[in-house]
Structures are given as structure tokens and as C-alpha cells.
Structure 1
Amino acid sequence: MPDAVMLFAAGFGTRMGELTRSRPKPLIEVAGRPLLDHALALTEGIPTRVVNAHYQAGQIAAYLQGSGIAVSVEEPDILDTGGGLRHALPMLGNGPVYTLNTDAVWSDDSALRLLARAWEPARMDALLLCVPLTRAVGRKGGGDFTLGMDGRLSWGGDMVYTGAQILKMDRLHVIGERAFSLRLLWQAMAEDGRLFGLPYPGHWCDVGHPEGIALAERMLPDV
């Protein structure tokens, strides 16, 4: 299983409006804890943890100071998910990694363990954790993928990508752009039949918009 995880925390958080005028979205609190802490709780025990930062990067770095978690600052421009992951390679190494978005809250802490148990590197280049729309709290819009009987993903459908995955890094090196989305890698993997999905059995909440805060707090079992 991977021994490194990349947590994406560089975005501008524009959907949060005034809440992100002077602070980055990962430091917005849900149930008394920053979103970044909710994400980090899923990564306990992973030896190498890296958080990327761009918008209000100094606040992210200050919050993590002394934690042993590395910060990959993107400057002068934000690099998107693919470019940001490639920029952090010196910290992460070249093996498969977990990646995790920091703008969601989960009903339990099993996400990365589920991925690790299902990971089959001989036939997978990526394994994405997905949740049905019916358990995607706060989701605005439709799904992202259809999960086939063989576990392969195709575009469109009622499965929502949760922001958690295991990903091989090899294809990062063939992208010419400096800033690019991981979607470019997924497209190539899907064409080769190596993009797979795994259903998450719990509830997941999108906290990319202000309404998601209250929805997440109602979803959490101890709140």
C-alpha cells in the first residue's frame, strides 16, 4: 500500500464567499475543528504526509508548523491538482500515493483503509473512492462516474468522486503543461482500462460551499 499521501489545500475557496476572504478554506471550522484536521484524521499512520498550499499559504504553513507534516507551496501560480501533485514529488517519492481533498467531511475514518484493501497495482493505475448521490450530502449537481461490474469507471452517472484515491505517479511526467488537472491522467487511464472505482459505504459531505458546514455537522455522529 502507499506510504505517502497528498492533501490538496491550495484552492481559493471561491464558493465559500466571505468565509474565505481572509483565510483559506481548509482552516474553516466544522464541528469545532478545521476542515484540514478532519482530512488529516483520515491519514493517521501514513509515514509521509504532504499538504499543498497557494491561497493564504502562510496560514496553512503556520497551522502545520511543528506537526511533522510537509507543506508544498505553489508560487507564483496555483498548479491545479495534477501540477500540484507533480510539484510535490520530491517530498512524496515516485511510488503510488493517496491523494485526499480537504473540503469534505466523512461519516467515519475508513476511507484510506478501504482503498488500501482494494488496491491491485497489477491492473490499476488509479483507484477512486466514490459514493452514490443518495449518500453524497450537500452535493450540488449530478454524479461523476458510473461504476462497472468489473470495478472500472466510465464518465457520467450517479457515483460522486469523494476526493480520495490511490494513484500511480508515472503518467505525471508525460504532461507538458505546468498546471493541469488530474482529470487528464484519469482520461488516459480510462482509455487503457486502468481507471477503477470503489464504493464508499458511509455518508460523505461536500463542504465546498457555506451550506455544507451545517449539513456536515448534522451528519457527524458525535455532534
Structure 2
Amino acid sequence: MRHDPDAVMLFAAGFGTRMGALTATRPKPLVPVAGRALIDHALALADGAGVARKVVNLHYLGDQIAAHLAGRADVALSWEPEILETGGGLRAALPLLGPGPVFTLNTDAVWTGENPLSRLRSGWDPAHMRALLLLAPADRVTGHSGKGDFALDDQGRITRGGPLVYLGAQIVNPAGIEMIPGAFSLNRLWDAMIAGGTAHGMLHHGGWCDVGRPEGIALAEAMLQEAGRV
């Protein structure tokens, strides 16, 4: 079994209901930002980090995403007959991802600065970690409303509550996930890892914009333009 991740799970199965009319006939991962579909922004991060295997889960209007990715021989598709949420989606994709730790990446955000997957790889310590989440202070992210999700202790371990927002990128060792039935969130795994002291976090120092709502598109494009990425 490998100890360092060489596969990434890209979450793309959801209904995208917060996008309103924009996702009535198009899945959210195909919504364009700065002339490129959201899923292509995510795949560019995986390519830039040299991640060999990429798995995309599909459900809502999945045929459109499958057609969009048809030219990508390095992308495998994990079809879900029903929405399994992030934990169930990861479990279903394990045969394609292979054993050992994997990256997971949400496809509804845009990034600037250091590649988030490369950043996570630099901090991964499989001897002491079962999860490593990428975080940023709530007042330094764009398009996100609400409080933070986590705090970090002096050992880099995460606890619930605090000023840091989870940015939808992590390395996780999913050992045992196959024993959890049905649809469930990755929060269920994190809670067990937090209790065991094996859930860690690190900071992203670049920009990050949530594109889960229509107004996030313009915010993300402005962030990319300011960073000279468009």
C-alpha cells in the first residue's frame, strides 16, 4: 500500500441547487469561470501537482460532464445511481482510486497562489496523520459567508469551531470507509479522526473563492484577474 497520495477524487455529482437557474440544465462543474469550466480549473490543479490518477464522481446531468471529459484518458468516472454525499462518493470510488491515502478536491472553487495539492503533499506525514485539510482564515477567503469551521492547535491538529474555513482540498486515508453504508458526509470520518488526534490542517496562503452561488462567478473572475491569471 502506498503511503503518499498519487490519486485525486474530484467531487462533481451534486445538484448545484445554490446556483439556481444556472444549473437547471447544466451541472455546476461545467459552469464557466474566466472562460473555463469549473471542473477544468480543478483538473488543472491536479495536472499541475503531477497527480497521476484522477477520478470524477457523477450523478446530476452526469452525461454532460462525461462528454466534456471524453478526451481525458487519465480521468476515470465513478457513476452514482443516487447522491452519496462526499463520504459515500469517496467510498464508491475506492476501486478506481486504489489503496492508501488520496487527495480530494471540490470542483466549485477557484484558487490562486501555491497549488493546493502540492501544498498538501509538502505537509503530509502518514505516520501521524489520517487527514490533512487545507484551511484559510474566514476573513481572507472570497465568496464565503459565515464563520470558520476549524481551529489548529500547536501540533497542527484540527478541532471543531474556530476562525479557519475548510477550502475543499485535503489528503485523507480512507481506511475503514468501506464499512460505512449509504450516503454520508466526510464529516463523519473527520469527527473520528479528530477524536483520535489524527486529523490535521495547514494554511493556504493564496487566494480562494467559493463559486457555489451565481455571485461567486464574478468574484472569482476578479480574483483571478488581480492575480494575473486571466
| TM-score normalised by length of structure 1 | 0.97
Instruction: Provide Cα deviations, 1:129-152, integer angstroms capped at 9, x if missing partner.
Output: 001112110101111101112100
Instruction: Provide Cα deviations, 1:29-66, integer angstroms capped at 9, x if missing partner.
Output: 00000000111111012111000011001001111012
Instruction: Provide Cα deviations, 1:47-106, integer angstroms capped at 9, x if missing partner.
Output: 11000011001001111012011111101x111101101101110011100000000000
1:184 matched residue in structure 2: 188
Shift of 1:171: 2.7
Q: Is this contact kept in 1: 2:113–2:205, CA < 8 A? A: no
Trace 1:27-106 onto structure 2 (pairs within 5 A). 27-44=30-47, 45-68=50-73, 69-75=75-81, 77-106=82-111
Runs of 4+ residues over 6 Å off in structure 1: none
The one-letter code sitting in structure 2 at the alignment partner of 1:215 is L
Could you say what secondary structure the match of 1:137 adopts? coil
Equivalent residues, number: 221
Shift of 1:121: 0.5
Trace 1:1-223 onto structure 2 (pairs within 5 A). 1-44=4-47, 45-68=50-73, 69-75=75-81, 77-175=82-180, 177-220=181-224, 221-222=227-228, 223=230
- What is the CA–CA distance in structure 1 between the aligned matches of 2:65 and 2:129, rounded to whole Å? 33
- What is the CA–CA distance in structure 1 between the aligned matches of 2:29 and 2:218, rounded to whole Å? 16
- What is the CA–CA distance in structure 2 between the aligned matches of 1:55 and 1:174, rounded to whole Å? 25
| TM-score normalised by length of structure 2 | 0.94
The one-letter code sitting in structure 2 at the alignment partner of 1:5 is V
Shift of 1:173: 2.4
Aligned CA RMSD, in angstroms, stands at 0.9
Q: Is this contact kept in 2: 1:41–1:109, CA < 8 A? A: no
Q: Which moved more, 1:106-115 or 1:177-186?
A: 106-115
- What is the CA–CA distance in structure 1 between the aligned matches of 2:136 and 2:42, rounded to whole Å? 17
Q: Is this contact kept in 2: 1:153–1:196, CA < 8 A? A: yes
Shift of 1:109: 5.0
- What is the CA–CA distance in structure 1 between the aligned matches of 2:135 and 2:15, rounded to whole Å? 24
Structure 2 unaligned segments of length 5 or more: list them: none
Shift of 1:180: 0.7
Structure 1 unaligned segments of length 5 or more: list them: none
